[in-house]
Amino acid sequence: MTARTNLTDLRDFLDGPLSLEAATVARGAKDGDPPEARALSLADSAEEFFADIVDERVKNKLDPPAWSVKKLDPIYKPDPDELEWQRTSELDPVVYATDKLKNLSALAPFDDADEKYKRRLIYWAVVLTANERRKAFFFRSFTASAEIKRKKGVALVSRQGSFSRVEESIFLFDDSIDCFVFGDFVYIIRKRDFRRIFDQISAVLRRAKRAARDLHAKVPIANFDDFERACGSDSRLADKVLAVRSRDYFNQLSYTMLKAVIDEFKLGIQTKTVAREEQLVFRTEPEHRFRILKLIDDDYLRSSMTKRRYEVNSKTAPPSE
């Protein structure tokens, strides 16, 4: 499928029954942390507002076609009637972002009281889902400055001829879209804001690759190139390898330490002897690709009481005496 025919497919997609969800995304709380997404709870009027943006900025320009479609050129300044494109498989930050947003129901809700999160805001995203679970993603740069109270002056509202001060938190959303993703293509409407959004994600993926290299130095991985590539493109692997790198026991890691857990839990993680050194083998299949990082993140535990073995997804230190 070409970029042009994919837009025709998108036009048909947008004509069908769709569910709409939205989220905001912020930088990680600490340097090196992955971006943090939070779901927006939308009343009917807000959902209609976002749907209207998609219609005005994208759908109405697909029939009849209003854009001249060109492949993304980093140094080219497109005209207003030109739409640049690139395959998402060639842009790891875009793959990372859409992976994060495929299941918004799993996200924590947007908390208006969380000032630190709001100061780190990067963008908002709208996700449209069809009955057959196909999705389209729409992105817009968004910062804390969108909140009215951060602007100079005081907001007053007139009700029945009487002005009163606005105490509620109010955010201004404009009606623009910077880029959108459908199928295996990303389309860029506003190149500068597109870069602002995804350059920050690129930085996270670069840190994930560095963390993968640090791990490889501690625990050799036979097919390291495959492992590094996966950590630099899969959002969940990127988050996991960054978490592993931050553990206080990271510097003590060794193959011998891990091999005992592999054998006890029968994890099926393959090993390979390379130049007389035992190395782990990374497998890309969905049911296997997380096992090495789960192993190193200490996700496989045995109860001292029941002697049962467990895979856990969260760990909290016991209360002190």
Q: What is the pLDDT along the chain (321 residues), one digit of tens a residue?
A: 899 999 999 999 999 999 999 999 999 888 778 899 999 999 999 999 999 999 999 999 999 999 999 999 877 888 989 999 999 998 888 999 999 999 999 999 999 999 999 999 999 999 999 987 899 999 999 998 898 887 778 888 898 889 998 888 889 999 999 999 999 999 999 998 998 888 877 888 888 999 999 999 999 999 999 999 999 888 889 889 998 998 999 999 999 999 999 999 999 899 999 989 999 999 999 889 999 999 999 998 887 778 788 888 776 666 666
Give the pLDDT confidence score for residue 73 in this predicted structure. 86
- Same domain? For 140 and 180 the reply is yes
* CA distance readout (Å), 179 to 7, 92, 211, 311: 13, 15, 30, 39
Reference 291, options 208, 218, 227; nearest CA is: 227
- pLDDT the model gives residue 177: 97
pLDDT at 245: 92
pLDDT at residue number 8: 96
Question: What confidence score (pLDDT) does residue 290 get?
Answer: 93
Residues 226 and 183 in one domain: no
Residue type, 164: S
H-only helix segments in 34-124: 44-57, 92-100, 115-119
What whole-number distance in Å separates Cα of residue 57 and Cα of residue 186? 15
CA distance 161 to 184: 53
In a domain, 59, yes or no: yes
Residue 251 lies in a domain: yes
Residue 135 sits in the same domain as residue 241: no
Residues 140 and 19 in one domain: yes
pLDDT of residue 241: 93
pTM of model > 0.85? no
| Domain encompassing residue 145 | 3-189
Q: Does residue 201 sit within a domain?
A: no
Q: Are residues 273 and 217 in the same domain?
A: yes
The sheet with strand 36-40 has its strands ordered as 68-71, 82-87, 185-188, 179-182, 135-141, 121-130, 18-26, 36-40, 108-109
CA 174 – CA 178 distance, rounded (Å): 11
- 247 and 144, same domain (yes or no): no
Longest dimension (CA), the chain: 84
Both 153 and 77 in a single domain?
Answer: yes
Same domain membership, residue 107 and residue 177: yes
Whether 21 is covered by a domain: the verdict is yes
Any domain includes 64: yes
Domain boundary among 161, 189, 217: 189
CA-angle at 311, arms to 310 and 312, nearest 5°: 110
Domain membership of residue 202 (yes or no) is: no
pLDDT of residue 202: 84
Domain membership of residue 318 (yes or no) is: no
Do 244 and 165 lie in one domain? The reply is no
Q: Are residues 48 and 176 in the same domain?
A: yes
Of 159, 189, 219, the residue that ends a domain is 189
Number of domains comprising the chain: 2
Confidence (pLDDT) at 167? 81
Whether residue 124 is found in the same domain as residue 253: no
What's the CA gap between 227 and 240, in Å, rounded? 12
d(CA 243, CA 247): 7
Same-domain pairing of 112 and 45: yes
Query: Does residue 196 belong to any structural domain of this protein?
Result: no
